[in-house]
Amino acid sequence: MTALRDDFRLYIDGAFVTGGASFESLDPASGQPWAVMPAATAADVNRAVEAAHRAFEVPEWTNLTATQRGKLLSRLGDLVAAHAGELAELETRDTGKIIRETRAQIGYVAEYYRYFGGLADKVEGSHLPVDKPDMEAWLRREPIGVVAAIVPWNSQLFLSAVKLGPALAAGCTVVLKASEEGPAPLLAFARLVHEAGFPPGVVNIITGFGEECGRTLTAHHLVSRVAFTGGPATARHVVRNTAENLAYTTLELGGKSPVLVFADADLESAANAVVAGIFAASGQSCVAGSRLFVEESVRGKLLAILTDKAERIRIGDPQDPATEMGPLATLRQLAHIEQVVAASLAAGAELVTGGQRAEGHGSGHYYAPTILACAGNEVPCAAEELFGPVLSVIGFADEADALAKANDSPFGLAAGVFTRDLARAHRLIRTLRAGIVWVNTYRAVSPIVPFGGYGLSGLGREGGAESIRDYTRTKSVWLRT
């Protein structure tokens, strides 16, 4: 047996340190441990937050102009681009996400840091024309303080870029907690933060378990801002934790996103988008288009195209660039999907394809691309966020029926519409309850365009120029002249 890699460290106050605890990280492709990771205890978290609090007041950080902060962020973006291969390989190793996807996403990560670098000196205050001849009044925008950023295991580099980028551009300091499931890419990224030249304590990167590390961090009295991405159940814990410090909190949560395909759509192009929308990252994506609503008249035809495409997906070693779908990140996730698919079949869903572990991959966490035909949203696979490669297909009679079924969910992260009828597309853009609507495309992403959800999918938006405001607070100034 090969020795486990043990060179990962927490990054606290500008130094690489071992945590008070440790754990083994599994390679999802083999199901075997491959590295020993440090785990931050409450004492480690306290040191990281105190370091961020001190850094928020040191001249090495506070005296930097916004333009200088922006340059640091752009340099970080360049370093991410220069080390993209190594970061992608680590993310693939630790989470099972295929190398094609991790490479592509890390290209975006570099872009996000450069984008927020460019925004740093565009945060402006304002002059307020008060009705008092002897007074001047204006608003200053100031950094909000110490930020606790928490990310889940999928897309950790990307999900931290939309938090670290605006936080640092605004002049905040940050403690970023990587997920305990697959922390390798973020712990490696810490070396790039160090190399970029941020003063010690401005960025701290830790990992550890939710109950000790996550709770201590989000409840800490020196934290003023919490930026959380994860599941709704954890979000409720986070909100309870912030009852302690009353930190300004944004939540990016799960989804059960609908994709609506009308009979007039280009079915081949819609099918490609549906397949990518649900099977990319093995379905472990917050915006996975997991509920497909299709107009009855083309249901059979679309299902046949989708089945053919799903059955051709090349499943295999996530490090192989030819692989199109890899394993699930954890065994727990695999067991959960098996259980929900079984419950859905028992509730009357019809198996179109898949519905079992993908064979021939040893103890790796592989599940076959699965399509289930369902009568409605009540079937468990159509109701719950599975975070796996399972598409629930439901027919609709007309536009009103499609809209009612699509909106029948407590989630509201994203929605897709495939139609050639522009007027219908506009009506659905107005009425779909979702934070993102993609028309005749799915999963398009850019640093310029915000994302975030309605309902149980979250609170607040990430990305885009306005997101930087969530890392500032205003100070109203009155001056007698």
Binding mask 135-174 for ligand NAD (x = CB under 6 A): ---------------xxxxxx---x---------------
Stretch that binds ligand NAD, among 195-203, 210-218, 242-250, 440-448 (CB under 6 A): 210-218
Among 98, 147, 186, 253, binds ligand NAD (CB under 6 A): 253
CB of 410 to ligand NAD, least distance (A): 13
Residue of 91, 180, 252, 324 marked active site:
252
Q: Which is nearer to ligand NAD, 151 or 373 (CB)?
A: 151
By CB under 6 A, name the one of 50, 94, 111, 252 that touches ligand NAD: 252
Is 349 a binder of ligand NAD (CB under 6 A)?
no
Asked whether position 177 contacts ligand NAD by CB under 6 A, the answer is yes
Residue 461 lies near ligand NAD (rule: CB under 6 A): no
- Single out the residue of 9, 75, 215, 461 in contact with ligand NAD (rule: CB under 6 A): 215
Question: Does residue 185 interact with ligand NAD by CB under 6 A?
Answer: no
> Considering the complex, what minimum distance in angstroms separates the CB of residue 294 from ligand NAD?
24
3-state secondary structure the chain: CCCCECCCCEEECCEEECCCEEEEEEECCCCEEEEEEEECCHHHHHHHHHHHHHHCCCHHHHCCCHHHHHHHHHHHHHHHHHCHHHHHHHHHHHHCCCHHHHHHHHHHHHHHHHHHHHHHHHCCCEEECCCCCCEEEEEEEEECCEEEEECCCCCHHHHHHHHHHHHHHHCCEEEEEECCCCCHHHHHHHHHHHHHCCCCCCEEEEECCHHHHHHHHHHCCCCCEEEEECCHHHHHHHHHHHHHHCCEEEEECCCCCEEEECCCCCHHHHHHHHHHHHHHHHHCCCCCCCEEEEEHHHHHHHHHHHHHHHHHCCECCCCCCCCCECCCCCHHHHHHHHHHHHHHHHCCCEEEECCCECCCCCCCCCECCEEEECCCCCCHHHHCCCCCCEEEEEEECCHHHHHHHHHCCCEECEEEEECCCHHHHHHHHHHCCCCEEEECCCCCCCCCCCECCEECCEECCECCHHHHHHHEEEEEEEEEC
Residue 385 sits in the site that holds ligand NAD (CB under 6 A): yes
Of residues 256 through 295, those in contact with ligand NAD by CB under 6 A are 286
Q: Which of 25, 92, 105, 179 binds ligand NAD (CB under 6 A)?
A: 179
In the list 198, 387, 454, 471, the residue contacting ligand NAD (rule: CB under 6 A) is: 387
Q: Any catalytic annotation for residue 252?
A: yes
Which residues form the catalytic set? 252
Q: Which residues bind ligand NAD (CB under 6 A)?
A: 150-155, 159, 177, 179-180, 210-211, 214-215, 218, 229-231, 234, 237-238, 241, 252-255, 286, 385, 387, 413, 458
